[in-house]
Structure 1
Amino acid sequence: LHFLVFHTEEVHDVLRIWDGPQDGGVLLRELSGSTLPPDLHSTFNSVSLQFTTDFFTSKQGFALQFS
């Protein structure tokens, strides 16, 4: 995964990324805030993403590429 943009509300908006399926996969990273994450590499041909928000403060969000 290559992040192009990452701006979320610190602590209240969290992106979780699993290597492979969410059930049975390995949690690679929990991301929050405005620091652009480094590239992440999967050992599978898939990743699972879960974004949780409290809907109070709007930020730019995130954009990423999967290749």
Structure 2
Amino acid sequence: RAEAKALIPVEYTAFVWASLLGWFMYGERLTLVTISGTALIVAGCLIAARLRPNDAEHVESTAV
């Protein structure tokens, strides 16, 4: 159990596992497009995980 913002980068590794399991279990071809797309998604997630913005303070507003 954790906050969604902490789990999202981990969830994107599913693309890597799906590609590898598809290749290993079902004989799917790993094309350059598949490998490149997976690498771009994982790289983007790693960059986003490193550049986490500071958490804003909780602000409540009331209706007038």
TM-score over 0.5 for the alignment?
Answer: no
Richer in helix (by share): 2
TM-score, length of structure 1 as denominator length: 0.22
Q: Which has the higher contact order (CA 8 A, sep 6+)?
A: 1
